[in-house]
Amino acid sequence: MTLFLLVFLIIIIFLIIKTNNRIFFNEIFWMFVFWGLIIGVYCFSGVKWKYSVSIDLIVYLMIAFFSFMIGRKYGYTKKVKVYYQEFSEINQSLYCGLGIIGVIAFSIDYIRLNGLFASKSGYDISIIGSIGNLMIPILLILGLYMFAESLINNGKINIKAILLLIAYTIPCILNSGRESIAFIFIGILAIYGYSAYFNKKTYRFVNLRKLLIKILIAIFTICAIWFIVHISKERFGDNEVSTFLNTHNVTWKAMKDAEAWGDFQFLYYNISSYFSHQLSFLEFMLKEYHGPYMFGMYELNIISRRLPSFLELDYNLVSQQLKHLYVLKGVSYSGDWFTIFGSLIVDFGRVGSIIVMFLCGYLCGRVKKNLSIYSDISYVVLRAIICICMFSSIQLGPFYNILIYGAFIWWFIIFRKKRL
């Protein structure tokens, strides 16, 4: 497995050398960074899982990644007819209003039913909160669009875009989540990468307005880091550390390393818990899961949970089967991230998951091709969202999380185009 990690690092270095300032706008870079993260934590965290990574899993992952990259290459190089596209005018005020209404509706509903800053993995919301949740991704799409438009065309940072992106994080902060903050940083870095390449220059903040904006971003970054550490401590306090040590086989060396972190040893175990179980869980799924298969409905659980029970496509059937397998095999996974490949195995089986990865790569290649043809900022935003999906891929698939699939839905609504 360490050799596999070394291969990932070599690929990342190669991408940095080859693409230079475009590196952050390359979804392959982000894919290898985040998968390199979980491979690295798995290798060096000192946590020993019952289902350790086998050569079968390594071969499976190599085939899956290769399938994605072949599909991406095919999607980009395939010749297509070029149409003139009329890009619809964006009613920014309308969509801003919808996004803000979504944040307010979700926040009020969440606080009413759960209290303020309830530190728990699940939460209750009514239909009002659900509708609000559907509108929240508008702020990510519009915030990234305004940020990209200003940066690419004028070399400036749009303060309204930053405020929209901060508003986008509010619901996630309320339910003690952290992923929306990661999504924003990835999206902004991706746009910076494209803008630096497009304008052939490095941005320097010299005037007072830019300096103030830079200070605002720095303050937000510091607050985001503090929030992430604070929530990590809330979720992984002394009791959780003791439970983790009692329920997991942690090496003596790893415990000594954690002690060296002093008051932050909870963060050591939090990282070990969050980012070392995915590969073991995926190994478990690859070896032990043999149905039921959901044919896309596990990822699209927002639909499957509302389907008639006789169709047997309710994603809860998977949870029941996994609990049965846990008891049968004597294992338990405190996290529920078996990565995008685990989701695809549940939906389409092992061979089907490889085919779906090829199709995902093909779609990414088409987006890259469309951007090269039309050079429209809307495609810059879409590719930034794809970069964000690479972070989601180490958790579950992109259509399991409303913050991701909602962004795709609203992109198609906001940037609808007419072929002429």
Nearest to 163 by CA among 211, 100, 110, 116: 100
Q: pLDDT tens digit string along 196-228?
A: 766 655 444 334 455 455 555 665 565 555 455
The pTM of the whole model exceeds 0.85: no
pLDDT at 20 over 50: yes
**If you ran DSSP here, which 8-state letter would residue 24 be given?**
G
pLDDT at residue 11 in the model: 63
Q: pLDDT tens digit string along 269-297?
A: 666 667 777 888 888 888 888 877 888 77
Rounded to the nearest integer, the mean pLDDT of the chain is 76
Q: pLDDT tens digit string along 362-409?
A: 999 999 988 888 778 889 999 999 999 998 888 887 777 788 888 999
Within 10 Å of residue 350's Cβ, how many Cβ atoms? 16
Distance CA 33, CA 27 (A): 10
Residue with tokens 């982000």: 30
Q: Which helix (H) or strand (E) holds 9?
A: helix 2-19
What angle, 0 to 180 degrees and rounded to 10, lies between the N-to-C axes of helices 179-199 and 208-235? 150
Minimum mean pLDDT among 105-119, 152-166, 176-190: which range?
Answer: 105-119
Distance CA 136, CA 188 (A): 18
pLDDT at residue 420 in the model: 42
pLDDT at 155 over 90: no
Nearest to 27 by CA among 186, 144, 145: 186
Q: pLDDT tens digit string along 182-201?
A: 899 899 989 988 887 666 55
Share of the chain above pLDDT 90, in %: 19
Q: Which amino acid is at 389?
A: C
Per-residue confidence band for 165, with pLDDT thresholds at 50, 70 and 90: very high
Distance CA 399, CA 397 (A): 6
DSSP letters along 107-129, please?
HHHHHHHH-TT--SS-----HHH
pLDDT at 134 over 80: yes
Q: pLDDT tens digit string along 22-70?
A: 778 889 888 888 888 888 888 777 677 777 888 899 899 999 999 999 9
For residue 211, how far is the Cα from the chain centroid? 30
Q: Which residues pair with 419 in a beta bridge?
A: 85
Within 10 Å of residue 71's Cβ, how many Cβ atoms? 22
pLDDT at 354 over 90: yes
DSSP letters along 303-343, please?
HHTTS-GGG---THHHHHHHHHHHHHHT---SS---HHHHH
Query: 58, 388 in Cβ contact below 8 A?
Result: no
pLDDT at residue 238 in the model: 47
Distance CA 388, CA 183 (A): 6
Full 3-state SS string of 156-174: CCCHHHHHHHHHHHHHHHH
